[in-house]
Structure 1
Amino acid sequence: MTFFTTNRSSEPNQNVQRTFVDVLYDHTGYLEANGGRLGPAGALNGRSVAVIGAGMAGLMAAYLLDQQGAKVTIYEASEHAGGRVRSVRPVPGDPAIFEMGAMRVPPSEQLFNYYAAQFGIKPGGQFPDPGKVNTNIIFQGGTYEWAAGLRAPAIFDNVSAGWDALAGYWTKHIGDNLADPSRFVYAQSNWQSLIYPYGPSSPEQGYSQISFYQGLVQAFVENAARWNTSPWTSQDFALFGALGLGSGGFGPLYPVNFAEIARLVVNGLETDQQFYPSGLGGIADGFVQRLRSSQIQFRTRVTGVAQTGDRPTVTFLPPNATRPATASFDAVVVATTTRSMEVDMGISSSPDWVLPDATGTALREIHLMNSSKLFVLTKRKFWQGTDLPQNIQTDGLCRGLYCLDYPDSDYGVVLISYTWGDDSTKYIALRDPRQRLETLLDSLAPGAPKFVRTLREQIVEDRTAMVDWQMEPQFYGAFKLNYPGQDTENADLYYQFLDESPAGIYLAGDSVGWCGGWIEGALQTGVNAAAAVANRIAGPGGLFPGSPMTQTSNRYTYGN
């Protein structure tokens, strides 16, 4: 997901974060130092592990455990691996792709880039984000052109000045310190001072306790001069809510906590985003192809996880079966969304659930955001060599439109609408892709008549696809974004793998991690869960020194 860009230099960032600020553990550095392994080969020979969910967290955990000799059974309810990394080819055999989930990756996603290099998955240049390519901005009936590489239109001057100053402060004092493990301590101190500050001179509430909207008021109304901006007016808030800095509206995110937005900046997730023409699904394929003694059971829905004696058990419904089956294992990794854990498996309310009560509460309460996409295939890349924009951002139904160039395909790909939160629920009842497409184009036509007219002529019939992640079985939402006060619950979920669970059940997934919606968060939790399994089965000798089990759960205070 992407919410904004800034007017800072487009030169590549030399200070690439090694980890996320809430994690402060270099997962990639550990794997690099140990030949890509968690511990000695053969340490888990003959031991059985279940992984529930073949998304990125589940595949990461299964891959590492498989390397150590474990026999891993992966239960996947759908027919494909990857979870929300879903690369769909509208024409079989053609390179054009609809990225229904993740679609761009910044350099700070270290684990992703580590495995992408191993699997031969290469970026193909800058993603066509607003301002990186010719962009049109449509706001309150007006259309504003934004030429590639230049400043955003003047209507954004005041909001951009303030936001760039604040984001620059975060980057300088926190983000840049994440590039060097020896400076993590400075990032930690500075981050703590923002999320939940101490002392009589500190603000009453930190970023973890206030909403995004409250944070904006605090920064750009009450303290505007500090951030190089005139006090924001109601018009500025309307503009920022509808279009951000010209790259997507923040309005649906106003209720989430301010720390979630700051994380995007300090973790480098909005910087130098790269486009992968071969499809991000190649990461999932790479893991699957390298599993040795493990297997994925597709179309197998898990309905329960419990403890029987000193071993965890999994209850599942095999394909075409009418009665569930049960199997026991040495350990279980549950790598689904938190909502699937609750709705499909009843984990948080099961009397057999032996994890701490705080974990169950967090699992039930943590907030997941909605998200929707609609793609069309076009006969050619009609925007090339013309005055038509390659990106359109609007305050209407479409919100964000992207024209995507897959260089080895003659077809064009247009992401007609990428929305989240309330903007995606506005039209969720339109279940027919053709009806939704026409509704979106009718909404866009008054502000971009030439583009819509040309697009209509170019659309390839019966090659339209859409997804509403909140409507997808076993997902029930797109990505985690914490409400005020929920960072404490997020910490309970992330650090659950450190608990000495008598049940041997460990949680993973991007909704357990610290940056929902990004592949990296899922991969980090997959590594954590695999380390916990190895530690449970083989003890400290199952891991190399300095493993993920050395992380500490009391690094930060997020609230009372």
Structure 2
Amino acid sequence: MSPDTVTAFGPDFPFSYDKWLGHPAGLGAVPAKMHGAKVAVIGAGMAGITAAYELMRMGLHPVIYEPGQIGGRLRSQPFVGQTDIVAELGGMRFPKSSRAFYHYVNKLGLKTRPFPNPLTPAAGSTVIEIEGRRHYAETLEDLPDLYREVAEAYDSALEEGARFSDLKAAIAARDPARIKAIWDPLVAAWDERTFYDFVVSSDAFQKLSFHHREVFGQVGFGTGGWDSDFPNSMLEILRVNLTELDENQHMIAGGAAQVPQGLFAHSPVRPVHWPHGTSLKSLHNGAPRPGAAKIFRDDAGKLSVTDIWGSTQTFEAMIVTCQSWLMTTAIDTQEELFSPKLWMALDRTRYMQSSKTFVMTDRAFWRDRDADGREVMSMTLTDRLTRGTYLLDQGEGRPGVMCLSYAWMTDALKMLPLPTEKRVALALGALEKIYPDVDIRGHIIGDPITVSWEADPNFLGAFKGALPGHYRYNHRMYSHFMQDHHARAEKGVFLAGDDVSWTPGWVEGAVSTALNAVWGVMHHLGGRTERNNPGPGDCWKDLGPVELGE
């Protein structure tokens, strides 16, 4: 299927966010009397910046609270002595199906290039080493039959268990009726079953050996291991596969943090109410407010935020984009702002652990060829503690970047207590067993960079990983922007962020939920969309996610 046909369109809520964003009528308008009204935005990640930018364009006055840095988990940390050679500590590969996200990438004029995933032309070559056996490959066909058998078995399982081809065709055609006719029954069938259950119960995998399933978990079919997702709800994996979030991925040249940081500084053309040249940066006098310490409704009924230095402001509405656990652990959140059932969903969110370790090299030495004409080092998948090693060529005459280790869950927890130097030493020790003739250490320059997202008090994990039975929780969070039937005390606060979305860990979910919240704020303040460009709330009755009984 063409990479231009499949988008992150549904399947739970098949609404065209990219078309809503790109329509000349704009996202909608609020009454003139609300122009300049202040709206609090908690968090300056991609969701918070997207929401604030669109609220500003609408003539509202977003006030962003951020305890860390602009970008959230789009965190690009420059290496010593560099500005545009970075370690992508959070999101680093962005599928072209993420059309709403690329709306902003294109608005800022940022350049992208294919990400060197396993067995892609951008990688050049891939080495898979499992149980001490090493395979060099440039395409899937270069691998032993075992890997082709695993790939074919997974394709068959998807057809058997999810009518995969039919559903992808419906998504490519942007046909909501066809999508929902296939998808909605799958929600009930697979919500309470794991990804591992889906794999092992399929006819295709039952015909294969345990070792096939083991390989699928450790290194996939040469595309990357899946075992960290085995406990997750199968619905979460289906969404990723269906909308090609794991395919045709690009990286942002110079760093992904340029997108939220660029939007913070960007002056939109003809904003409502604000003078020409207004930006989020100018509205904030150069930087967001400090982090939020307390969110509540004051005695006069006004939504209020107290920052970490004790300053309190009141607002007409509020968008909360931080990870949900922070409203229990870090921000004193008034209990009455959310219903007990929503609190249950927020507290039951389960976050996945993730760690990365990067070094800069004097050049992309891995492109050198050995006596057999092979690249001396390759994108590497292994069952060793490094799990995935990515080689990021920055161009001729420039330093290179190695993501020595990209690990998840228990593999990430092994790194958690270790200092940077020990993490690098362990990764190099593992890689030197795979490449005994390559002097990796001799090419390292500058200082290494590493991250464990679960150790960051502003995140407490990389992103949500929904467990079986969590669909109802996800539905409560995702649908929260539809507030006409909420209790009065619960109106005016809107949730956004990728962990509110159906596709946690993917920036498209952050953008789309931010846009939901923008519609919610507009509606809450008496605004509306243009008839020829309805927003997500206008389409909810027809396109809304299927509800499972409580």
TM-score computed with the length of structure 1 as normaliser: 0.88
Aligned residue for 1:283?
Answer: 259
Establish whether residue 379 from structure 1 lines up as the match of residue 362 from structure 2.
yes
- Range that drifts further, 149-158 or 413-422: 149-158
Deviation at 1:15, TM superposition (A): 1.9
Return the alpha-carbon distance in structure 2 between the equivalents of residues 372 and 60 of structure 1: 26
Establish whether residue 427 from structure 1 lines up as the match of residue 419 from structure 2.
no
Q: 1:331 aligns with which of 290, 314, 317?
A: 317
Q: 1:483 aligns with which of 467, 470, 473?
A: 467
Q: Deviations over 1:437-484 (max 9, x none)?
A: 10121123222223xx421110114x2000101111210010111000
Deviation at 1:415, TM superposition (A): 0.3
SS of residue in 2 equivalent to 1:24: coil
Q: 1:253 aligns with which of 223, 226, 229?
A: 229
Assess if the C-alpha contact under 8 Å between 1:311 and 1:504 holds in 2. no
Return the alpha-carbon distance in structure 1 between the equivalents of residues 531 and 454 of structure 2: 38
Assess if the C-alpha contact under 8 Å between 2:63 and 2:288 holds in 1. no
Aligned residue for 1:112?
Answer: 101
Letter in 2 for 1:313: S
Aligned residue for 1:359?
Answer: 342
Aligned residue for 1:58?
Answer: 48
Deviation at 1:558, TM superposition (A): 4.4
Q: Deviations over 1:20-67 (max 9, x none)?
A: 311211111112113554336957412111101000110011001111
Letter in 1 for 2:186: L
Q: 2:60 aligns with which of 59, 70, 73?
A: 70
SS of residue in 1 equivalent to 2:222: coil
| 1:132-151 → structure 2 map (5 Å cutoff) | 132=120, 133-148=124-139, 150-151=141-142
Establish whether residue 210 from structure 1 lines up as the match of residue 193 from structure 2.
yes
Assess if the C-alpha contact under 8 Å between 1:174 and 1:266 holds in 2. yes
Letter in 2 for 1:34: P
Aligned residue for 1:4?
Answer: none
Aligned residue for 2:444?
Answer: 459
Establish whether residue 189 from structure 1 lines up as the match of residue 191 from structure 2.
no
SS of residue in 1 equivalent to 2:404: strand
Aligned residue for 1:21?
Answer: 11
Return the alpha-carbon distance in structure 2 between the equivalents of residues 549 and 217 of structure 1: 39
Establish whether residue 243 from structure 1 lines up as the match of residue 219 from structure 2.
yes
Letter in 2 for 1:370: Q
Return the alpha-carbon distance in structure 2 between the equivalents of residues 543 and 73 of structure 1: 29
Letter in 2 for 1:172: S
Return the alpha-carbon distance in structure 2 between the equivalents of residues 280 and 72 of structure 1: 23
Assess if the C-alpha contact under 8 Å between 1:52 and 1:58 holds in 2. yes
SS of residue in 2 equivalent to 1:454: coil
Aligned residue for 1:507?
Answer: 495
Assess if the C-alpha contact under 8 Å between 1:31 and 1:38 holds in 2. no
The verdict on how the C-alpha distance between 1:142 and 1:299 changes in structure 2, with shifts beyond 3 A counting, is farther
Q: 1:121 aligns with which of 102, 107, 110?
A: 110
Assess if the C-alpha contact under 8 Å between 2:118 and 2:222 holds in 1. yes
| 1:84-123 → structure 2 map (5 Å cutoff) | 84-123=73-112
Q: Deviations over 1:116-170 (max 9, x none)?
A: 111101222x211111130110101111111246454333232211112334675
SS of residue in 2 equivalent to 1:23: coil
Return the alpha-carbon distance in structure 1 between the equivalents of residues 398 and 206 of structure 2: 48
Assess if the C-alpha contact under 8 Å between 2:89 and 2:451 holds in 1. yes
Letter in 1 for 2:239: R
Number of residue pairs aligned between Structure 1 and Structure 2: 519
Return the alpha-carbon distance in structure 2 between the equivalents of residues 122 and 165 of structure 1: 37
Q: 2:70 aligns with which of 81, 85, 106?
A: 81
Aligned residue for 2:155?
Answer: 164
The verdict on how the C-alpha distance between 1:81 and 1:544 changes in structure 2, with shifts beyond 3 A counting, is farther
SS of residue in 1 equivalent to 2:211: helix
SS of residue in 1 equivalent to 2:21: helix
| 1:224-239 → structure 2 map (5 Å cutoff) | 224=204, 231-239=207-215
Aligned residue for 1:173?
Answer: 166
- Range that drifts further, 508-517 or 281-290: 281-290
Q: Deviations over 1:226-284 (max 9, x none)?
A: xxx66232212221221122232222221111111111111110121112223211211
Return the alpha-carbon distance in structure 2 between the equivalents of residues 134 and 70 of structure 1: 50
Aligned residue for 2:272?
Answer: none
Letter in 2 for 1:437: V
Assess if the C-alpha contact under 8 Å between 1:16 and 1:107 holds in 2. no
Assess if the C-alpha contact under 8 Å between 2:30 and 2:525 holds in 1. no
TM-score computed with the length of structure 2 as normaliser: 0.89
SS of residue in 2 equivalent to 1:401: strand
The verdict on how the C-alpha distance between 1:44 and 1:390 changes in structure 2, with shifts beyond 3 A counting, is farther
Q: Deviations over 1:352-378 (max 9, x none)?
A: x23222111100001111111110000
The verdict on how the C-alpha distance between 1:103 and 1:161 changes in structure 2, with shifts beyond 3 A counting, is same
State the superposition RMSD in angstroms.
Answer: 2.2
Q: Which stretches in structure 1 are left out of the alignment for 5+ residues?
A: 1-10, 197-205, 319-323
SS of residue in 1 equivalent to 2:402: strand
The verdict on how the C-alpha distance between 1:414 and 1:36 changes in structure 2, with shifts beyond 3 A counting, is farther
Assess if the C-alpha contact under 8 Å between 1:34 and 1:544 holds in 2. no
The verdict on how the C-alpha distance between 1:18 and 1:469 changes in structure 2, with shifts beyond 3 A counting, is closer
Q: 1:343 aligns with which of 294, 310, 329?
A: 329
Return the alpha-carbon distance in structure 1 between the equivalents of residues 308 and 43 of structure 2: 14
Letter in 2 for 1:215: F
Letter in 2 for 1:108: S
- Range that drifts further, 408-417 or 36-45: 36-45
Deviation at 1:14, TM superposition (A): 3.9
Aligned residue for 1:6?
Answer: none
Assess if the C-alpha contact under 8 Å between 2:63 and 2:289 holds in 1. no
Return the alpha-carbon distance in structure 1 between the equivalents of residues 3 and 439 of structure 2: 37
Establish whether residue 397 from structure 1 lines up as the match of residue 379 from structure 2.
no
Q: Which stretches in structure 2 are left out of the alignment for 5+ residues?
A: 267-278, 370-374
Return the alpha-carbon distance in structure 2 between the equivalents of residues 540 and 275 of structure 1: 36
SS of residue in 2 equivalent to 1:522: helix
Q: Deviations over 1:191-213 (max 9, x none)?
A: 122221xxxxxxxxx22110111
SS of residue in 1 equivalent to 2:365: coil
Assess if the C-alpha contact under 8 Å between 1:76 and 1:297 holds in 2. no
Deviation at 1:88, TM superposition (A): 1.5
Return the alpha-carbon distance in structure 2 between the equivalents of residues 555 and 253 of structure 1: 23
Return the alpha-carbon distance in structure 1 between the equivalents of residues 53 and 76 of structure 2: 21
Aligned residue for 1:7?
Answer: none
Give the fraction of aligned pairs with identical amino acids, expressed as a percent: 28
Return the alpha-carbon distance in structure 2 between the equivalents of residues 298 and 48 of structure 1: 14
